[in-house]
A and B are shown apart, each in its own frame.
Chain A
């Protein structure tokens, strides 16, 4: 997919991988809507992108809130047009320090599922209808190795990411015939606030820079049908498609 002039929406765009993805998409020519719960940090990313010749728009919304999703989707379309690239990057870990399932409140599991699974479903449901009508569009789900491995204390997050991976496959199975692509990608361990919240004593020097990971994920989007629809990819081992 050639990103020049395309409309992209990135959730969790205030910092870390989301901000890096927004910068990279804009650098490749897309008009980007960046979404987060708080406007101020979003606007700083927006200013930075626009200051370097890109086109970015900041919209505050909580992906876990049902009533926020339609306003978000259509305000975004008013600003950049029908969305061509949708990146589900916003994630909730649940309470930290991370805890055993037997110590996890049901409400905390529900909240994590709302942000990591139900919210992305709601947003894709609005955006992908227009993609299917137009016969093109890409939906990216940022996953984790916790979607595959059962690490003790990562329960709520882990379950939500495993379900999100399967949601990515199902969108591909249902929308592939209409030209819509969907994949999930494990970004690997990065030097981000989410990682620090989960593993406070990790050595930042041993972690990947989110901007490097963002370059690879954007290259995956640009690779289009050279990647099987519904694939689960790993940024760390991704070598490109050529």
Chain B
């Protein structure tokens, strides 16, 4: 499938493949059709994490740091190091970075420095670092010098606003929670008018690729999430009236199912870390359907979709999408996987 190489102007015109695993149907539609594909009583659950400028150039060495996980407070983060170059070089072709010892100082700019506090024993590119400032000073500097993480199939540098959803709130995501990107407010308002509830959770969407097969096997890492009482009440009310819970993106599935797993199968308000790996054979307890981007087989995103439809059926849906010219990756087209309410 061809990768979308840049954000498109009109999200409502982007394509949406409706995949109904129970009826065995694969139907072409557009994002603007989403309100008629959901039913009154359903709840759409979005991830409201804003995307951080998580890529920082290290002065002097040409290396790049990509933040991959907040460890605690504002200052402490886990990060992956990349060798000289930038997003234009595919991550797997990037030269190895210089290796740093514990205690080494990384200077990003006059007003932004960090110290390496730990180096992973198996993967020396994976380090823990501690910024020298915190609070308003740290966040101002991070936003001044950081750039969004991006990959070689997007040819031009992305601006911070290119990687935000239209309801982004807390800056927790290391990469864009991209399933929510094409949701315009005209579609969200129409959903609400038709009786579809909308709930928000926050999940720190992690990075998709490090360029190293062994490091990629450790993805997704632990991802911080928060589900508040209002979201739990909205989701429970939908379930109680027979509505479906439609997760926008794999991050929402991970957050909701992690919460259920930790609370005896019941969704509960939580401020935790998602460690759950979801794939074929996993039986979701909370989520009935998923709105997702197009993700190729072999990725952790694709594996997660296996919880909602059989792998052969998903593969045939993706073959159809490829034939019909759908685009993949974070600026690409979407798929809704789930059976209609009453079928």
A 73-95 to B, binary, CB cutoff 8 A, 1 in contact else 0: 01101110110000000000000
Known A71-B143, A71-B144, A129-B166; contact A79-B136, beta-carbon cutoff 8 A: yes
A 190-210 to B, binary, CB cutoff 8 A, 1 in contact else 0: 000000000000000000000
Q: Is the CB of A78 within 8 A of B170?
A: yes
A 131-152 to B, binary, CB cutoff 8 A, 1 in contact else 0: 0111000000000000000000
Q: Is the CB of A130 within 8 A of B167?
A: yes
Q: Can you report 25 A-B residue pairs in the complex whose CB atoms are below 8 A from each other?
A: A57-B136, A59-B139, A59-B140, A70-B143, A70-B160, A70-B164, A71-B53, A71-B140, A71-B144, A71-B160, A74-B50, A74-B143, A74-B171, A75-B140, A78-B171, A79-B135, A81-B170, A82-B48, A82-B169, A126-B168, A129-B168, A130-B168, A132-B167, A133-B46, A134-B200
Q: Is the CB of B139 within 8 A of A178?
A: no
A 96-133 to B, binary, CB cutoff 8 A, 1 in contact else 0: 00000000000000000000000000000010011011
A 39-82 to B, binary, CB cutoff 8 A, 1 in contact else 0: 00000000000000000011110000001001110110111011
Q: Which residues of B are interface residues toward A (Cβ below 8 A)?
A: 46, 48, 50, 52-53, 74, 135-136, 139-140, 142-144, 159-161, 164-171, 185, 188-189, 192-193, 198, 200, 230
For B46, list chain A residues within 8 Å (CB). 133
Q: Is the CB of A133 within 8 A of B200?
A: yes
Question: Which of B139, B161, B168 makes the CB contact (< 8 A) with A75?
Answer: B139
For B189, list chain A residues within 8 Å (CB). 177-178
Q: Is the CB of B140 within 8 A of A132?
A: no
Within the complex, what minimum Cβ distance (angstroms) separates B261 from chain A?
A: 25
For B52, list chain A residues within 8 Å (CB). 74
Known A57-B135, A178-B189; contact A129-B167, beta-carbon cutoff 8 A: yes
Within the complex, what minimum Cβ distance (angstroms) separates A59 from chain B?
A: 6
For A82, list chain B residues within 8 Å (CB). 48, 169-170
A 19-35 to B, binary, CB cutoff 8 A, 1 in contact else 0: 00000000000000000
For the complex of A and B, the 10 pairs showing the least CB-CB separation, nearest first, are A71-B143, A130-B169, A82-B169, A75-B139, A129-B167, A74-B171, A70-B160, A133-B167, A57-B136, A129-B166
Give the docked Cα–Cα distance between A143 and B170 (Å): 29
Q: How large is the interface on A (under 10, 10 to 19, 20 to 34, 35 or more residues)?
A: 20 to 34
Q: Is the CB of A133 within 8 A of B48?
A: yes
Q: Is the CB of A178 within 8 A of B50?
A: no
For B50, list chain A residues within 8 Å (CB). 74, 77
Give the docked Cα–Cα distance between A72 and B139 (Å): 9
Residue ID in chain A nearest B143 by CB atoms: A71
Give the docked Cα–Cα distance between A59 and B143 (Å): 11
Within the complex, what minimum Cβ distance (angstroms) separates B209 from chain A?
A: 24
For B142, list chain A residues within 8 Å (CB). 75
For B169, list chain A residues within 8 Å (CB). 77, 81-82, 130, 133
Give the docked Cα–Cα distance between A71 and B145 (Å): 10
Q: Is the CB of A60 within 8 A of B168?
A: no
Which A220-240 residues sit within 8 Å CB-CB of chain B? none
Within the complex, what minimum Cβ distance (angstroms) separates A47 from chain B?
A: 12
Residue ID in chain B nearest A43 by CB atoms: B136
Q: Is the CB of B192 within 8 A of A74?
A: no
Give the docked Cα–Cα distance between A58 and B140 (Å): 10
Residue ID in chain B nearest A129 by CB atoms: B167
Give the docked Cα–Cα distance between A150 and B48 (Å): 43
Give the docked Cα–Cα distance between A77 and B50 (Å): 9
Give the docked Cα–Cα distance between A132 and B200 (Å): 11
Residue ID in chain A nearest B53 by CB atoms: A71
Residue ID in chain B nearest A33 by CB atoms: B136
Known A60-B140, A74-B143, A79-B135; contact A132-B170, beta-carbon cutoff 8 A: no
Residue ID in chain B nearest A68 by CB atoms: B143
Within the complex, what minimum Cβ distance (angstroms) separates A63 from chain B?
A: 15
Give the docked Cα–Cα distance between A58 and B46 (Å): 30
Give the docked Cα–Cα distance between A81 and B52 (Å): 14
Residue ID in chain A nearest B50 by CB atoms: A74
Residue ID in chain B nearest A39 by CB atoms: B140
Residue among A60, A67, A72, A132 facing the most chain B CB atoms (10 A cut-off): A132
Give the docked Cα–Cα distance between A133 and B202 (Å): 12
For A81, list chain B residues within 8 Å (CB). 169-170
Residue ID in chain A nearest B144 by CB atoms: A71
For B167, list chain A residues within 8 Å (CB). 129-130, 132-133
Question: Which of B136, B161, B188 makes the CB contact (< 8 A) with A59?
Answer: B136
Within the complex, what minimum Cβ distance (angstroms) separates A116 from chain B?
A: 21
Give the docked Cα–Cα distance between A132 and B140 (Å): 26
Give the docked Cα–Cα distance between A72 and B140 (Å): 8
For A74, list chain B residues within 8 Å (CB). 50, 52, 143, 160, 168, 171
